Amino acid sequence: DAMANEGGCAIVLSAILSTALLRRGDGALFRSRWSIAKSVGAALGAALVFFMGAGVLLRVQQASGVAGLDEMLGAIGTTYGWGAVFVLAAIVAPTMEEFLFRSVLLDSLGAWMPFALANIAQASLFAAAHFDLSRWPFLFALGLLCGAIRRRAAGLLPAILLHAINNTVATLVLMQQPW
């Protein structure tokens, strides 16, 4: 159907953009002051704290029956398979969104305003870019947390991992729904 086709186009465009980002040799994409082990540990710890705090919001959202992104991912899953959803949600989206919001946007805004304001601005834009008002507080908090982790680590890897963990858990929950 149309929603699955739009999702399929999003997968293809995301793959092309991801390839372009990785081919240009941007060493800052995975560079960090932290070791891989510390980056993974920080991402897992932040994800645990974040999910505990966001649990109430998710229950309210699920009870309201609001969909949108869920429907699109469900359509992609039934049309192209859940493997495509995982690649898109757990690898492509976190890498691209962290690069765009926590590298390009946060660095650009941070050049002419204090970090706290730049982080609030990029987190607001990140949440708005998902076009899901019911999840805006959750997405805003994720954006703030990823921005703070990115600054503290001086690299994107921990933020990408946190974002990937978030999207993987959300996809696993989504897969439990009947389509």
Tens of pLDDT along the chain (179 residues)? 444 444 455 555 455 545 544 444 444 555 566 666 666 666 666 665 555 544 544 554 455 554 566 777 777 778 888 888 888 888 888 988 898 889 888 888 888 889 999 999 999 989 988 877 888 899 999 999 999 999 999 888 999 999 999 999 888 887 887 75
Q: In the prediction, which pLDDT does 133 show?
A: 82
Yes or no: say if 159 and 50 are a contact pair by the CB < 8 Å rule: no
The pLDDT value recorded for residue 93 is 86
Alpha carbon 53 to chain centroid, angstroms? 17
H-type helices in 24-156, by residue range?
36-64, 69-80, 82-86, 93-97, 106-110, 115-129, 136-153
Answer yes or no: are the C-beta atoms of 33 and 154 closer than 8 Å: yes
Q: Are the C-beta atoms of 156 and 30 separated by less than 8 Å?
A: yes
Quote the tokens at residue 70.
Answer: 């869920």
3-state per-residue secondary structure call for 107-144 = HHHHCCCCHHHHHHHHHHHHHHHCCCHHHHHHHHHHHH
**Residues 29 and 17 sit within 8 Å (Cβ to Cβ):** no
pLDDT at 83: 86
Instruction: Say what the pLDDT of residue 61 is.
Output: 47
User: Is residue 158 within 8 Å of 150, Cβ to Cβ?
Assistant: yes
- The Cα–Cα gap between 28 and 83 comes to 28
Q: Which pLDDT belongs to residue 15?
A: 52
Q: What is the pTM of this model?
A: 0.66
Position 121 scores a pLDDT of 92
Dist CA 166 CA 22 (whole Å): 22
Which tens digits make up the pLDDT trace of 34-86? Answer: 666 666 666 666 665 555 544 544 554 455 554 566 777 777 778 888 888 88
